[in-house]
């Protein structure tokens, strides 16, 4: 008898689905973070005061998409800028469109101005915005990859008074938030006509000191020599100390514009300082540029982490294909404002506290409570509850901890009778009231 040999075939073990999944990282990408409920009172305060200032100065809200076609930013902000060259989150869509997450709002505002024919709206067109921006920068204190901006833009008006008003608004919002140690740095980088001469002078100056510049600034000498003035490298700081300054080379019109701005700022009693090295990191600026800094952290630290910045950009709309449109604006960094408020112990937004607690006992009463809660809430009374709890004792404990003035108790009997017990928490007195009149009775008691 021939014995059959048992053949065992090795079957490669398939990885279980769980094994082929990528590791789950329970955190957001680097430079991004959650804003938890405990911090929201600061964010709310910033948004509230900023939006109030915008309304007071006649600005209307605009919301833009988070994503624009990349060339809106590369053309608007400038090819040679750090933002466009190194910091944009850019990708291609399935349809092949090249898009980027917005690193700022101003270029998108100019796009929207042209697209919606805002040139025929009454001038100046005053818009404000609030929302997240994205820059792939090296995260550090006060510098995130996802951060939030609030900003105002006025398009169609060249009067210097608007430049002054922008600074006034930014300064007022920051001051009202309790950040009192604020300084405004201002400069004028002229118009394309006078900037051309100034640029030549700068190139001439830096060419003669090229060996002493950092690698990036050697490149900037070719692409964007004005940005050398903004470099924080020690050796460049020394070289630029004796560089020609833009305000000494302004044309007549730009000089008059700048002089007038400084007069307005003096009149407004806003503490400002001329900063000839202030050129800002975006190419669209003309004439006025400014930054708002808190000096509580020391001058150098503050410059790196400006609370806000802005300026005039008379050429941007035309550069994107619209008609020549003077414009000016500013943006504040909300993340930095919140951090500064917390550091200084500034007042946060006060959430209104509930003054009434609604307790219930039994399935029927719980159903009735939902309706009673809605009636009170709709009439403007802030009510607290803990409907998930069954025991009356534990609900009353919660009411006590919240420090409410009145507690309404709806038990099985009251729910059937159409009544409710109202307990005054200070005196402990209780009375039975008609459930249909609960809103009036509660309001009467709270007024007392
Ligand atoms: P910006 O100076 O690039 O200007 O940004 C404005 C503000 O946004 C800064 O002062 C800062 O508070 C905040 N910010 C910028 N980058 C970051 C970051 N990585 N992390 C945290 N906060 C940041 C603009 O964006 C111009 N669009 C301003 C403007 C409006 N000019 C005319 N109109």
Query: Which ligand 1 atom is the nearest neighbour of the CA of 308?
Result: 10
Find the 307 Cα to ligand 1 centroid distance in Å: 8
Q: What is the pLDDT of residue 13?
A: 62
Q: How far apart are the first and last CA of the chain?
A: 107
How far is residue 326's CA from residue 298's CA, in Å, rounded to a whole number?
Answer: 35
Q: Whose CA is nearest to atom 1 of ligand 1?
A: 309
Strands 383-385 and 419-424: unpaired
> For the chain, give me the number of helices (H) and strands (E)?
17, 16
Find the 149 Cα to ligand 1 centroid distance in Å: 7
Scanning the structure block, which residue is given the tokens 């309706």? 371
Given a contact cutoff of 8 angstroms between Cβ atoms, the answer to whether 155 and 322 are in contact is no
Given a contact cutoff of 8 angstroms between Cβ atoms, the answer to whether 205 and 162 are in contact is no
Composition of the chain by helix, strand, coil, percent to 5: 45, 20, 35
- Ligand 1, CB cutoff 6 Å, lining residues: 104-106, 135, 137, 142-144, 147, 149, 151, 153, 281-282, 306-311, 313, 329-331, 333, 335-336
Strands 406-410 and 383-385: unpaired
**Selection from 20, 293, 260, 284 nearest residue 162 by Cα:** 260
Residue 280 has what DSSP assignment? -
Q: Whose CA is nearest to atom 4 of ligand 1?
A: 309
How far is residue 439's CA from residue 373's CA, in Å, rounded to a whole number?
Answer: 10
Question: DSSP 3-state assignment of 320?
Answer: coil
Length of the chain: 448
Find the 369 Cα to ligand 1 centroid distance in Å: 49
- Tens-binned pLDDT, residue by residue, of the chain (448 aa): 445 555 455 555 665 555 567 889 999 999 999 999 999 999 999 999 999 999 999 999 999 999 999 999 999 999 888 899 999 999 999 999 999 999 999 999 999 999 999 999 999 999 999 999 999 999 999 999 999 999 999 999 999 999 999 999 999 999 999 999 999 999 999 999 999 999 999 999 999 999 999 998 998 898 889 889 988 888 898 999 899 999 999 999 999 999 999 999 999 999 999 999 899 989 999 999 999 999 876 666 666 789 999 999 999 999 999 999 999 999 999 999 999 999 999 999 998 899 999 999 999 999 999 999 999 999 999 999 999 987 999 999 999 999 999 999 999 999 999 999 999 999 999 999 999 999 999 999 998 7
How far is residue 101's CA from residue 88's CA, in Å, rounded to a whole number?
Answer: 7
Put simply, whether the predicted model's pTM sits higher than 0.75 gets the answer yes
Query: Which ligand 1 atom is the nearest neighbour of the CA of 104?
Result: 25
Query: Which ligand 1 atom is the nearest neighbour of the CA of 148?
Result: 22
Residue of 294, 312, 333, 339 to mutate, ligand 1, most atoms within 8 A of C-beta: 333
Name the CA dihedral angle for 182, 47, 308, 113, rounded to a multiple of 10 degrees: -140
Find the 309 Cα to ligand 1 centroid distance in Å: 6
> Omega into 57 within 30° of 0, i.e. cis?
no
Alpha-carbon 330 to chain mean position: 12
Q: How many CA atoms lie within 13 A of 316 on its CB side?
A: 33
Residue 305 has what DSSP assignment? T
Find the 380 Cα to ligand 1 centroid distance in Å: 39
Given a contact cutoff of 8 angstroms between Cβ atoms, the answer to whether 356 and 321 are in contact is no
Find the 422 Cα to ligand 1 centroid distance in Å: 53
How far is residue 306's CA from residue 384's CA, in Å, rounded to a whole number?
Answer: 41
Find the 136 Cα to ligand 1 centroid distance in Å: 13
Q: Whose CA is nearest to atom 31 of ligand 1?
A: 310
Given a contact cutoff of 8 angstroms between Cβ atoms, the answer to whether 166 and 329 are in contact is yes
**Selection from 60, 125, 105 nearest residue 325 by Cα:** 125
Give the sheet arrangement for strand 98-101, strand by strand: 67-69, 98-101, 90-92
Residue of 147, 173, 189 to mutate, ligand 1, most atoms within 8 A of C-beta: 147
392: enclosing H helix or E strand? helix 392-402
Query: Which ligand 1 atom is the nearest neighbour of the CA of 281?
Result: 3
Q: Whose CA is nearest to atom 2 of ligand 1?
A: 309
Question: DSSP 3-state assignment of 442?
Answer: helix
Question: DSSP 3-state assignment of 31?
Answer: coil
Q: Report CA-CA distances (Å) from 75 to 85, 108, 264.
A: 12, 11, 32
Q: Whose CA is nearest to atom 25 of ligand 1?
A: 104
Find the 146 Cα to ligand 1 centroid distance in Å: 12
How far is residue 270's CA from residue 427's CA, in Å, rounded to a whole number?
Answer: 53
How far is residue 392's CA from residue 62's CA, in Å, rounded to a whole number?
Answer: 49
């Amino acid at each position: 008898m021939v014995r059959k040999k048992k053949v065992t075939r090795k079957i490669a073990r398939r990885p279980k689905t769980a094994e082929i999944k990528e590791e789950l990282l329970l955190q957001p990408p680097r430079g991004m973070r959650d804003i938890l409920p405990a911090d929201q009172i600061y964010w709310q305060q910033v948004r509230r005061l900023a939006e109030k200032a915008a309304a007071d100065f006649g600005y209307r809200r605009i919301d833009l998409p988070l994503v624009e076609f990349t060339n809106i930013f590369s053309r608007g902000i400038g090819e040679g800028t750090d933002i466009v060259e190194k910091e944009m989150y850019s990708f291609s869509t399935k349809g092949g469109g090249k898009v980027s997450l917005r690193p700022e709002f101003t270029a998108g505002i100019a796009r929207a101005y042209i697209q919606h024919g805002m040139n025929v709206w009454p001038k100046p067109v005053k818009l404000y915005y609030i929302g997240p921006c994205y820059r792939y920068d090296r995260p550090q204190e006060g510098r995130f990859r996802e951060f939030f901006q609030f900003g105002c833009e006025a398009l169609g008006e060249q009067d210097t008074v608007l430049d002054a008003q922008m600074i006034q608004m930014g300064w007022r919002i920051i001051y009202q938030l309790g950040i009192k140690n604020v300084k405004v740095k201002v400069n004028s980088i002229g118009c394309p006509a006078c900037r051309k001469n100034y640029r030549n002078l700068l190139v001439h100056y830096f060419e003669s000191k090229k060996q002493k510049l950092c690698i990036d600034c050697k490149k900037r000498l070719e692409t964007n020599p004005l940005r050398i003035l903004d470099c924080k490298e020690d050796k460049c700081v020394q070289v630029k100390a004796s560089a020609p300054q833009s305000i000494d080379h302004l044309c007549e019109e730009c000089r008059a514009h700048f002089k007038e701005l400084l007069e307005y700022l003096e009149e407004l009693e806003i503490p400002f300082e001329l900063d000839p090295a202030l050129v800002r990191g975006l190419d669209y600026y003309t004439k006025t540029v400014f930054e708002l800094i808190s000096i509580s952290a020391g001058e150098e630290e503050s410059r790196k982490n400006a609370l806000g910045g802005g300026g005039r950009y008379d050429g941007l709309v035309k550069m994107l294909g619209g008609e020549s449109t003077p414009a000016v604006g500013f943006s504040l960094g909300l993340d930095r404002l919140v951090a500064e408020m917390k550091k200084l112990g500034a007042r946060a937004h006060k959430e209104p506290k509930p003054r009434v607690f609604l307790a219930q006992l039994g399935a029927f009463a719980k159903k009735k409570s939902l309706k009673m809660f809605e009636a009170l809430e709709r009439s403007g009374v802030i009510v607290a509850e803990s409907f998930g709890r069954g025991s009356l004792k534990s609900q009353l404990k919660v009411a006590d901890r919240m420090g409410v003035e009145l507690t309404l108790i709806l038990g099985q009997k009251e729910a059937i009778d159409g009544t409710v017990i109202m307990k005054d928490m200070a005196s402990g007195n209780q009375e039975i009231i008609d459930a249909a009149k609960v809103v009036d009775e509660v309001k009467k008691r709270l007024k007392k």
